[in-house]
Structure 1
Amino acid sequence: MTTATAPGGAPEKPAPAAPGPAAPSLASRIAGLTGHWAVRLALVVIGLVWLLPTAGLLSSSLRDPADISVSGWWKIFDLNGSFPWIIDRSQLTWSNYEALFANEQVMDSLLTTVLITVPATALVVIVGALAGYAFAWMEFPGRDWWFLGVVGLLVVPVQVALIPVAKLFGALGIFETTTGVVLFHTAFGLPFAIFLLRNFFAEIPRELLEAARLDGAGELRLFTRVILPLGGPAIASLGIFQFLWVWNDMLVALIFADSTNPPITVALQQQVRQFGNNIDVLAPGAFVSMLVPLAVFFAFQRQFVSGVMAGAVK
Structure 2
Amino acid sequence: MSTPAAVGRLAARAASGAVRVFLVLAALFWLLPTLGLLISSFLSPTDLNTGGWWQALTAPSKLTVTNYARLLGNDTITGSLLNTVAIAVPATLLVLVLGSLAGYAFAWLEFPGRDWLFLVVVGLLVVPVQVALIPVSKLFGAIGLFETTAGVVLFHTAFGLPFAVFLLRNFFAEIPRELLEAARLDGAGELRLFARVVLPLGAPAIASLGIFQFLWVWNDMLVALVFADSAHPPVTVALQQQVRQFGNNIDVLAPGAFLSMVVPLVVFFAFQRQFVTGVMAGAVK
The structure 1 residue matched to 2:140, chosen from 160, 163, 169, is 169
1:31 Cα deviation from its structure 2 partner: 3.0
Q: Which amino acid in the other structure matches residue 52 of structure 1? A: L
The structure 1 residue matched to 2:55, chosen from 75, 89, 100, is 75
1:275 Cα deviation from its structure 2 partner: 7.0
1:226 corresponding residue in structure 2: 197
**Identity between Structure 1 and Structure 2 (%):** 74
2:85 corresponding residue in structure 1: 114
1:117 Cα deviation from its structure 2 partner: 0.4
**What number of residue pairs does the alignment pair up?**
284
1:268 corresponding residue in structure 2: 239
The structure 1 residue matched to 2:37, chosen from 48, 57, 67, is 57
Once residues 269 and 223 of structure 2 are traced to their aligned partners in structure 1, the CA distance between those partners, rounded to angstroms, is 26
1:24 Cα deviation from its structure 2 partner: 5.2
2:183 corresponding residue in structure 1: 212
Matched ranges for 1:141-220 at <5 A = 141-220=112-191
Q: Which amino acid in the other structure matches residue 54 of structure 2? A: W
1:278 Cα deviation from its structure 2 partner: 1.6
RMSD between aligned residues = 1.6
1:89 Cα deviation from its structure 2 partner: 3.0
1:218 Cα deviation from its structure 2 partner: 0.3
Once residues 259 and 274 of structure 1 are traced to their aligned partners in structure 2, the CA distance between those partners, rounded to angstroms, is 19
Once residues 137 and 3 of structure 2 are traced to their aligned partners in structure 1, the CA distance between those partners, rounded to angstroms, is 69
Gaps of 5+ in 1: 1-20, 79-87
2:260 corresponding residue in structure 1: 289
Kindly name which structure, 1 or 2, has the bigger radius of gyration based on alpha carbons.
Answer: 1
Once residues 31 and 253 of structure 1 are traced to their aligned partners in structure 2, the CA distance between those partners, rounded to angstroms, is 53
1:32 Cα deviation from its structure 2 partner: 1.2
2:21 is the alignment partner of 1:41: yes
Asked which structure has the greater RCO (Cα within 8 Å, sep 6+), the reply is 2
Once residues 148 and 60 of structure 1 are traced to their aligned partners in structure 2, the CA distance between those partners, rounded to angstroms, is 49
Cα distance change on mapping 1:311 and 1:111 into 2, 3 Å: closer
1:118 Cα deviation from its structure 2 partner: 0.4
Measured against aligned partners, the alpha-carbon deviations of 1:2-60 in whole angstroms (never above 9, x if no partner) come to xxxxxxxxxxxxxxxxxxx995595x555313111100000000000000000000000
Matched ranges for 1:77-156 at <5 A = 77-78=57-58, 88-156=59-127
Q: Which amino acid in the other structure matches residue 100 of structure 1? A: L
Tell me which protein shows more helix as a share of its residues.
2
2:217 corresponding residue in structure 1: 246
Give 3-state SS (helix, strand or coil) of 1:295's partner.
Answer: helix
Cα distance change on mapping 1:249 and 1:286 into 2, 3 Å: same
Structure 1 length-normalised TM: 0.87
Q: Which amino acid in the other structure matches residue 153 of structure 2? A: V
Moved more, 229-238 or 268-277: 268-277
Q: Which amino acid in the other structure matches residue 152 of structure 2? A: V
Give 3-state SS (helix, strand or coil) of 1:232's partner.
Answer: helix
Measured against aligned partners, the alpha-carbon deviations of 1:176-195 in whole angstroms (never above 9, x if no partner) come to 11011000000000000000
Runs of 4+ in 1 over 6 A off after TM superposition: none
Q: Which amino acid in the other structure matches residue 240 of structure 2? A: Q
